[in-house]
């Protein structure tokens, strides 16, 4: 259900969501939750997605330190 | 700092973040936090932004009920 919902949002709504994600300082926490789900086996993803998430995590963490 | 960081992310990274936001079922919670900050005076925003957030909140809530 959720992926369809994301596609239904306008680019402006998607941008607003991303903006709130950063103003609430929750981007890093969000990625950590996803990585934790993957690493403890609760979620199976493609290797490529896992690498993208790790890359994004370190990129944001570096920028916010 | 955060807004700059958002602009530095590639469209693919922004899409990945949004995707995780929805797979973690956190979009509604995130907007609620922002609305709460505005409504209890911790954050000042333009009237237009507040309306956009309210509209987005009800849209996502309806889709996920």
**pLDDT tens, B6-21?**
888 999 999 999 999 9
- Note the Cα B56 to chain centre separation in Å: 8
Residues contacting A21, CB < 8 A, separation 6+: A27, A30, B17, B21, B30
Q: Which residues of B touch A53 (CB under 8 A)?
A: 16, 20
CB of A54 less than 8 A from some CB of B: no
Question: Taking all residues of chain A, what is their mean pLDDT, rounded to a whole number?
Answer: 92
Look at residues A35, A13, A63, A59 and name the one whose alpha carbon lies nearest to residue B18: A13
- How large a percentage of chain B has pLDDT more than 70? 95
The rounded percent of chain A whose pLDDT value lies above 70 is 95
Neighbours of B27 (CB within 10 A): 24
């Amino acid at each position: 259900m959720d992926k369809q919902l994301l596609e239904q949002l306008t680019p402006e709504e998607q941008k607003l969501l991303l903006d709130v994600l950063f103003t609430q300082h929750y981007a890093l926490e969000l990625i950590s939750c996803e990585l934790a789900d993957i690493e403890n086996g609760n979620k199976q993803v493609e290797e490529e997605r896992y690498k993208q998430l790790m890359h994004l995590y370190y990129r944001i963490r570096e920028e916010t330190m």
